[in-house]
Amino acid sequence: MDNRETLGAALKKLSRARTTAEWLEDLRGEVPCAPVNTVGQALQDSQVAEDRMVLEMEHPDLGTVRQLASPIKISGTMPEHRLGPGLGQHTDEVLRDYAGATDQEIAAWRSKGVL
């Protein structure tokens, strides 16, 4: 700990002397290591494709959209992936079933701009 700042500066300078690919070439198999990826790089990784971590779904307004799949993987099962509801899609149902509102009350709120 006494030389932490000096050592950190020296390692930073040394690490910038070569590319990530060059360091990985020399260190793999000797030192546990991996690159620090950007989000874009991580999503392009072959393991992400192999594990089906990004999936494409059809959106009613946007067409085909890419989204992250469930990170939970259980052998022999495939989780159901679906889009969430649209903005306001279940408003009437929630107000009726959980707040006890009538259709007339909901219509009145809509006409007044409450909803």
Determine if residue 85 is left, alpha or beta; phi over 0 gives left, psi from -120 to 50 gives alpha, anything else beta.
beta
Contact between residue 69 and residue 81 where contact means Cβ atoms under 8 Å apart: yes
Segment 27-84, tens digit of pLDDT: 999 999 988 999 999 999 999 988 889 999 999 889 999 989 888 888 888 778 888 8
Return the pLDDT at 7: 95
Q: For the full predicted model, state whether its pTM sits above 0.85.
A: no
